[in-house]
Amino acid sequence: MRLNKAVSVYLATALMAAGSAVPAWAQLKIEVTNGVADPVPVAIVPFAKPNTGDGGLDVASVIEHDLQGSGRFRTLPRTNMPATPTQPNAVVMGDWKNAGEDYIVVGRVVPLDGGNVAVDFDLLNVLTGQRVAGQRFTGTPTALRNAAHRVSDVVYEKILGIRGAFATRIAYVSVDGQPPAQKFQLIVADADGENQRLVLESRYPLMSPSWSPDGQWLAYVSFENKRSAVYVQFVRTGERRQVSARAGINGAPVWSPDGKKLALTLGGSSGNPDIYTLELQTQNLTRLTDDPAIDTEPAWSPDGKSIYFTSDRAGGPQIYRIGVNPGDRPKRITFTGNYNARPRLSADGNLLAVVTQDSGNYRVAVQDLNSGTFRVLSKGHLDESPSFAPNGSTIMYSEREANRGILATVSVDGLIGLRLKSDQGEVREPAWGPFAP
Amino acid sequence: MRKILMVLMLATALVSAGGCASKKPKPGASQSTEVGNNAGADAAGANADAANAGNVGADDDVAGPQGGLLAKRVIYFDFDSSDIKGEGNDVVAAHAKYLASHTSTRVRLEGNTDDRGSREYNIGLGERRAQSVRRALMLQGATEGQISTVSYGAERPAVVGNDEGAWSKNRRVEIVYLGPGGQAAPVQPQPQR
């Protein structure tokens, strides 16, 4: 078992082809901590590409970036490659064994009739010589990045046995300017921060974005009417609908696993926040908590039968769970420390992510719901808003750095951390979208 | 403050030195919506004007009374507390007296927190502070119909910063005087209790 000393690797993001937006994520810093991390050595050989004047997207570079950034792989620098095959039968296994690689990926970008392109790849096991996987992804030239991420997903899954989450999207809030003249934006981007799309812009606060399970809608809170209200918005067209603007707090919307309901926080005119579920089709409202404490920040269990939430009924915020049928009594879930808030569940229902207070710092932690083990994952002073990747292996969250908010990820075993730095201003509240259907 | 300005200037320099066509996310014409200043568009091309959808009964802020303590509109709080302390009591007393003698005057209380911890929980804490001021005003002569509350949690800081100097300025309730124009009506029925 090799131990890796702490290594900082700076990768400049690949510039996109002419005609596309230059990424606003200027720098990706990968930190691999001391520990059991045994990254799998894999060579991603530059793909063959059509002779277009503008050079096209470097597909292999996107795949390298995905796999290296996951912390589970160590990709071979191009200067160390013994050759640059693009077909599986051109690979001389002995050369790659000598280079220390366990796997090699070769591929080709192929233009198709009608203007589409295909990305073909082959994943080969260097030690056995076997072709482990190979596939073709087709699409428009502008979807080439997505095809590259799909390749990364296959490579990740074939080698690690866990579904990859590279071809997914995130939503987050970006804030520019200084109070009282701040500008708020809700943005959707690829999970690596590229391909940013503006969903909503406002002079008033936006918060709490939440994806529908089919990845087509976002729910969020907007203060555009000088008070909080919950909206749902169809991302592709921008069509939006106000779903709750009741007196008092309207907050923390989260979609049910079947996509038919929102759980949310309502405060009423007495200002006492409690948890409700709202059926979107009928507008039927069901009250779940009735307590003078602050009850907020609901999160659904993956089977849709329970809701976890933050409550300070015991003095300080802790996580509780309640059944979705009214009348059930909440059960306390977290007992470590004095502050646990903002619950989120992994897709398999085994892990609960929270914001916890840890020696005076606010950090992201996970609690194993089966064993009760509690583990602090992040290392910042003001970390918040954890969101699981749909494969449950990584958590994205926001952290404050020198008065600016940035997004970061940490693996659920705590071994791998990554920061996404942005030129954009302050970014916060990431919501990791589901797998593409 | 200088440190914040320096960080801002540096950030601005970075953005403008980039020299690239667009650092900002692309607003797809059919995908983005702008609200808060009565602008909006959807794929069908119609002006969704989404900001007006809930604007029924929205209040306009006015200057309000300015004499003596009435000019003070901000009450500050200790960490994790919604207790009104010190000068805050005097400020509340002054506004309560004014409201008691001007029974058609209305105010909105805006509750805020510092930015530590979880955002929606902070919305709850900001509301708790606003409700604390509301109760104190009503105990001293204001009526329920004169007071509305909103919590911004940590979303509208007065001062940006990561130290107690900034945090103490953000843990506050602001008293905003409202113009005439009828009671602000919720768009939907209130939750059943």
CATH class for the domain made up of A169-432? mainly beta
Does residue B1 belong to any structural domain of this protein? no
Work out the pLDDT band at A50, boundaries 50, 70, 90: confident
Domain count for chain B: 1
Of A115 and A132, the one with more pLDDT: A132
CATH classification of the domain holding B103 = 3.30.1330.60
CA A360 → CA A240, A302, A381, distances in Å? 40, 32, 8
Q: How much is the ipTM here? A: 0.89
Of B16 and B169, the one with more pLDDT: B169
CATH number of A37-160: 3.40.50.10070
Is B187 close to A266, i.e. CB distance below 8 A? no
As a whole number, the mean pLDDT across chain A is: 89
For B128, the domain range is 64-178
Residue A100: CB atoms within 10 A of its CB come to: 12
Residue A282 at interface with chain B, using a CB cutoff of 8 Å: no
Is A197 close to B28, i.e. CB distance below 8 A? yes
- Which residues of chain A are in CATH 3.40.50.10070 domains? 37-160
Work out the pLDDT band at A400, boundaries 50, 70, 90: confident
Mean pLDDT of A152-172: 97
| Cβ(A279)–Cβ(A244) below 8 Å | no
Instruction: Using CA coordinates, name the residue in chain B closest to A354.
Output: B118
Q: Under DSSP, is residue B4 helix (H, G, I), strand (E, B) or coil?
A: helix
Query: Does the pLDDT of residue A370 top 60, yes or no?
Result: yes
Is A269 close to B190, i.e. CB distance below 8 A? yes
Which residues of B fall within a CB distance of 8 Å from A358? Answer: none
Please identify among residues 362-401 of chain A the ones whose CB lies closer than 8 Å to any CB of chain B. 362, 381-382, 384-385, 400
Q: How many pairs of residues across A and B have Cβ atoms under 8 Å apart?
A: 232
- Which residues of chain A are in CATH 2.120.10.30 domains? 169-432
Res B69: pLDDT: 92
Work out the pLDDT band at B33, boundaries 50, 70, 90: low
Does residue B31 belong to any structural domain of this protein? no
Is A200 close to B187, i.e. CB distance below 8 A? no
Does residue B36 belong to any structural domain of this protein? no
Please identify among residues 313-352 of chain A the ones whose CB lies closer than 8 Å to any CB of chain B. 317, 339, 341-342
Which residues of B fall within a CB distance of 8 Å from A194? Answer: none
Mean pLDDT of B74-89: 96
Percent of chain B's residues with pLDDT above 70: 63
Does residue B96 belong to any structural domain of this protein? yes
Of A13 and B32, the one with more pLDDT: B32
Res B21: pLDDT: 37
Of A363 and A325, the one with more pLDDT: A363
Which residues of A fall within a CB distance of 8 Å from B115? Answer: 382, 400
Mean pLDDT of A4-9: 34
Instruction: Using CA coordinates, name the residue in chain B closest to A296.
Output: B121
Is B31 close to A271, i.e. CB distance below 8 A? no
Q: What confidence tens digit (pLDDT) does each residue in A248-294 have?
A: 999 999 999 999 999 999 999 889 999 999 999 999 999 999 999 99
Choose the weakest-confidence range: A242-256, B25-39, B123-137. B25-39
Is B121 close to A297, i.e. CB distance below 8 A? yes
Which residues of A fall within a CB distance of 8 Å from B47? Answer: none
Is A244 close to B188, i.e. CB distance below 8 A? yes
Is A21 close to B26, i.e. CB distance below 8 A? yes
Does residue B76 belong to any structural domain of this protein? yes
* Model confidence, pTM: 0.85
Is A225 close to B160, i.e. CB distance below 8 A? no
Does residue B151 belong to any structural domain of this protein? yes
Query: Does the pLDDT of residue B179 top 50, yes or no?
Result: yes
